[in-house]
Structure 1
């Protein structure tokens, strides 16, 4: 269950970052509220995952999901670069997160 919480926490971290972009420096109310709510949910889910997962592994996977997720959403929704080297780097982040999950003690 801890890995599921961590996956959800990472997805809410993506929502937080995208919400920040849409909030335009907290000048737009509802995107600001959504961003703050997503951040709170993300952190709460992370704390649930940390009850059983090693902190270094959980934090690295959480940030990896967030970083790769935001980069992919940026490509899909905001016409950010999809250059091959950028995609390779995103793939390396995903590979690192998967590797940490595979090597972590079972929770």
Structure 2
């Protein structure tokens, strides 16, 4: 795995961790969790800004946002006890397909 791809994966994981803990901020009334979540977003965006030095922003952002969204949905179901149904499955598959198509198009 290249350094750029590794940094992008790290950016996605940090963003997913921040989003997963968003409810703990209690509407940003809990200072500790608010700082942790906002710091996570800041670090993730910083890493994404480094990634786009050597990867097209359209591809990097599609991966970051699409895979992040899918990962948060999976964490919601497996860790946070959220519901899972056919509509969610289809929507996530559309996101993944969109990311794949953008990546394939970006490589030409």
**TM-score (norm. length: structure 1):** 0.84
Cα offset for 1:44?
Answer: 1.1
Are positions 1:34 and 2:32 aligned together?
no
Map 1:1-107; keep pairs closer than 5 Å: 1-105=3-107
Cα offset for 1:40?
Answer: 1.3
Q: How many residues align?
A: 106
Alignment gaps of 5+ in structure 2: none
Cα offset for 1:93?
Answer: 1.5
Runs of 4+ in 1 over 6 A off after TM superposition: none
The whole-number CA distance in structure 2 between the counterparts of 1:12 and 1:98 is 22
**TM-score (norm. length: structure 2):** 0.83
Alignment gaps of 5+ in structure 1: none
